[in-house]
Amino acid sequence: MAADAELSEDEFQSIYGRLEPLSPLQVGELFAGAEFEWWICGGWSAELAQVPRRLHADIEVGVRRDQLPEVRRWLANYHLWDVRSGTLRFLGPEDELPADQEQIWVRRNAYSPWLMDVMPTPVKGPLWVYKRDERLTRPLEQVVERRDGIPYQRPEVTLLYKARRVLERDEADFDAVAPHLSRADRAWLHDAIEMTEPPGHPWLERLARLA
């Protein structure tokens, strides 16, 4: 959760307000009974054990972009904010969202901390569509898996998203996750990075060595 990726966590909170992200279990409780599809994505989805390897300053929750109206009705008692190009805009109940909406911040109200990021994800029929390159698709059932009753984005898909910027925490997630992927999932990640990132991405050689 960052309107400006250059801000430290303290700087962010001094400008935008406190962060007290929900845990995956709390997200599950919030969405219990919802008829729309949702899943934990971002850094939490790269955790392969019950005890997290590192602290997570936020929590990202994927939803189908075509189910955003249902998501907004479910969160009617919360304040939703459109995040776009480093700016924030409050979303009233009647405000329309652009068709390519990618991120929504959620909190109870102005006196409350930010709880989570909702990440609208393009899905066409049964297929997840990579938002950065629509050539790349995968059955949604192969993008989301359940762990301890909570739906999570599969870790190889999470690493694909992280391949774009490769921050220090992304490198740590790659080192922790990639060796534990199946041969097929490493091959999918390799081919996906090769298709969607510039030539010579440093993870390609490392994935090839693991194969």
Domains of the chain: 1-153 (3.30.460), 155-211 (no CATH)
Mean pLDDT over each residue of the chain, to the nearest integer: 93
Please report which confidence band the pLDDT of residue 87 belongs to, taking 50, 70 and 90 as the band edges: confident
> What's the mean pLDDT in 101-117?
95
Let me know the angle formed at the C-alpha of 136 by 120 and 103, rounded to the nearest 5 degrees: 15
Does this model's pTM top 0.85? My answer is yes
Is the pLDDT at 166 greater than 90? The verdict is no
Distances (CA, A) of 45 to 56, 124, 128: 11, 22, 16
Shortest CA distance to 42 belongs to which of 2, 82, 87? 2
pLDDT at residue 3, rounded to an integer: 53
Is the pLDDT at 199 greater than 80? The verdict is yes
